[in-house]
Amino acid sequence: MGGHDIALVAGAGLVVVSPGIAPDAPVLRALAERGVRWISEPEFAVRFYAGQLIAVTGTNGKTTTTLLIAHLLTQAGIRAAAGGNVGGGLAPAASELALLDEPPDWYVLEMSSFQLAGVESFRPDIGVVTNLSPDHLDRYATVAEYYADKVRLFDNADDASRWVLPAGDGDVAELAGDARGRRFFFGGDSSSATHAFTQDGMLLVRLDGTVEPLLHRDEIPLIGRHNVDNALAAALVARLAGAEPVRIADGLRSARPLAHRLEPVADYGGVLWVNDSKATNVAATKSALASLDRPVVILLGGKDKGEPFAPLGPALSGRARAVLAYGAVGPRIQRELRDFVPVELMASDFVAVVARAASLAQAGDVVLLSPACSSYDMFDSYAHRGRRFSELATELARETT
């Protein structure tokens, strides 16, 4: 339309804003100066939903947990549809779900902080927080501002609300505060306050005091210890939504890794290549490292999101055979990690970075793309970055076999 006609927009009955537009964008500043309030696209969409709502937020694991919940419900014979912030072609936008010819029993939405910032009446029947850690500091001035948008998940809680939260997580507990509704906890130990947990390798759910075994963690075809927590959260939600334990267990056995999330993409010469391009913050990369029990050659870099990288140091020390820093933030990664582990600074040539990783990796190693940064200095998206990594790994496999 050639630009923003502020008077035209301000005169609209309802303004719905894409989450990609930052609150300090000129058009939104101009609307705020006129006292015009706007809402996010999911806030608009859910006004047309005919079923019950599950909303999943958190810093890491949102997409896996969202899609896993929908998968478990579907496998249990309960009609469910996933969407929201999932992206990557894995699920539609929230508003597309409102157009389904046959409304599901449960809508399962992944909600980003950007989307939660624009809610008014949004109220999930079951709300999930996977975890919390600093992120998006290129958009938020402080971590507190980031968490302030996350907390809006609880704005419209009532006595019927149910919240699925990580056990023993003080940040999440503070986020939930005294919001109305009943709390259910996953992970941690098997104390009576935990409702989904592991014991002797078994995943168990406990509602109303009855312990229900699901399956052994080795039966879940997802890489990484963090995916056990994702599975516990999803299983607990599915149980609250009416799925039977045996059907939940069957659903977990049939789950498949999502693209760009600890996704094995090649295995040759004794070296496993893993695409974790969705790890766009330090906490996600730390989780990936904790999930692997082999030496790693790790690719770190991309666009600077403002996070410190030093917290990665202890996780890399003694674990990383090599750390390759690349992209716009490469020099800062090298400065902040060199006291923990040698860091090789690479030019912004991704083909050369992957080739260097291949030359350094030894049999028994993992070459891990878990960048701890967004991708927008060199790629269109984390998915574009992950696809390119996977293509290069596959090409190298063909050349050596």
Looking at the DSSP bridge assignments, the partners of residue 299 are 324, 369
CA–CA separation, 181 vs 126, rounded Å? Answer: 10
End-to-end CA distance of the chain: 54
CA–CA separation, 49 vs 47, rounded Å? Answer: 6
Specify the pairing of strand 366-369 against strand 271-275: parallel
CA atoms within 13 A on the CB side of 257: 16
CA–CA separation, 356 vs 345, rounded Å? Answer: 11
CA–CA separation, 289 vs 303, rounded Å? Answer: 21
Length of the chain: 401
Does the CA dihedral 186-87-13-36 come out positive or negative?
positive
Looking at the DSSP bridge assignments, the partners of residue 367 are 273, 297
Please report, to the nearest 10 degrees, the dihedral formed by the alpha carbons of residues 278, 281, 285, 286 taken in order. -150
**Catalytic residue ranges:** 62, 85, 136
